[in-house]
Homo-oligomer: A and B are copies of this chain.
């Protein structure tokens, strides 16, 4: 939490009550995505008149400074960034329970080798299916 605040400051964002509470709520979701809708509901339970503007803008800004990330396949879902050090990695998302498993390392060189002269600015990788628990459960039926 203090770390997140520090990141806000480092990026010249003001530390408002709204942002603090938003971060606190988001920090529960390191292993699973929340919908922007749920976020809005929760935030409006604290700040009844909170505008979409505020919610969308903050999520967007948070994602830019690495506090938050959007799910690749469904941009209405968001999760807290597991590690602020920006160690680059990707995710496996379980379609059944929604659990997120971090994947180690990243095979981007696999692709950049095929792109001579190109400027590779970024990439999106997401693997999905059933986690080990759900695989076991669903197979034993």
Q: Is A95's beta carbon under 8 Å from chain B?
A: yes
- Size of A's binding interface in residues, CB under 8 A: 37
A25-64 contacts to B (CB < 8 Å): none
Residue of B with least CB distance to A119: B130
Q: Digit string of A120-141 for contact with B (CB within 8 Å is 1, else 0)?
A: 1111111111111011100000
Q: Is A21's beta carbon under 8 Å from chain B?
A: no
Q: Is A108's beta carbon under 8 Å from chain B?
A: yes
For A95, the chain B residues whose CB sits under 8 A away are 121
For A126, the chain B residues whose CB sits under 8 A away are 123-124
A sample of 8 more A-B contacts (CB under 8 A), given A118-B130, A119-B135, A123-B126, is A90-B111, A103-B111, A105-B110, A110-B110, A112-B127, A119-B134, A122-B128, A125-B125
State the 3 A-B residue pairs at the shortest beta-carbon distance, nearest first: A117-B132, A121-B129, A119-B130
